[in-house]
Amino acid sequence: MASKKDYGKMCQAPACDKKSHHGDSTFCQMHQWRLKHWGALERTPIEYMKSKTFVDDNSCWVWTGGKVGQSKRRGSQPYGTIMIGLKRFRAHRVMYELIMGKIPDGLVLDHICRNTLCINPEHLEPVTNAENVKRGYESRKALWGKES
């Protein structure tokens, strides 16, 4: 058992200024949790995002984290979301910018796989909003016939 003088020693993780979780612990509570669940003290943003996906039969990296935008309207699909600080972002846009770079001004990302939960940058193409709407309409039309 740790003596009282040992309680509150500093976390040994790089750049962490928190006190250790217990007197006999090397790390603070956050770093102990990361070590136990991740097997490492830190992860890159790409590693974190990939941990929130699974790969389907179409090579889509399907987002399993937060979602927004699904409604009862026919064909409505949700988009993955991720919180960065206090702000919510679309997961596919974040992953695209981490791997491919900035999305060009005036363009949006089209899911060429038609799966809005896919965050695989190879399945995302920067296009104008008009082109994105046109492609979405054409894919719905092919799926459901002339009405959509």
Q: Give the dihedral sign, CA 113/117/120/126.
A: positive
How far from 2 is each of 7, 10, 23, 114, CA to CA, in Å?
A: 7, 14, 6, 57
Going residue by residue through the chain, which has 148 residues, state the pLDDT in tens, using 9 for 90 and above.
444 454 568 888 888 888 887 766 788 888 888 887 777 788 888 988 999 999 999 999 999 999 988 655 555 688 999 988 889 999 999 999 999 999 999 999 999 999 999 999 999 999 999 999 998 888 777 666 655 4
Question: Residues 117, 57: one domain?
Answer: yes
pTM of the model: 0.71
Task: Enumerate the H helices of the chain as residue ranges.
Answer: 29-38, 45-51, 91-99, 129-144
In a domain, 47, yes or no: no
Give yes or no: residues 60 and 26 share one domain. no
Residue 37, domain member (yes or no): yes
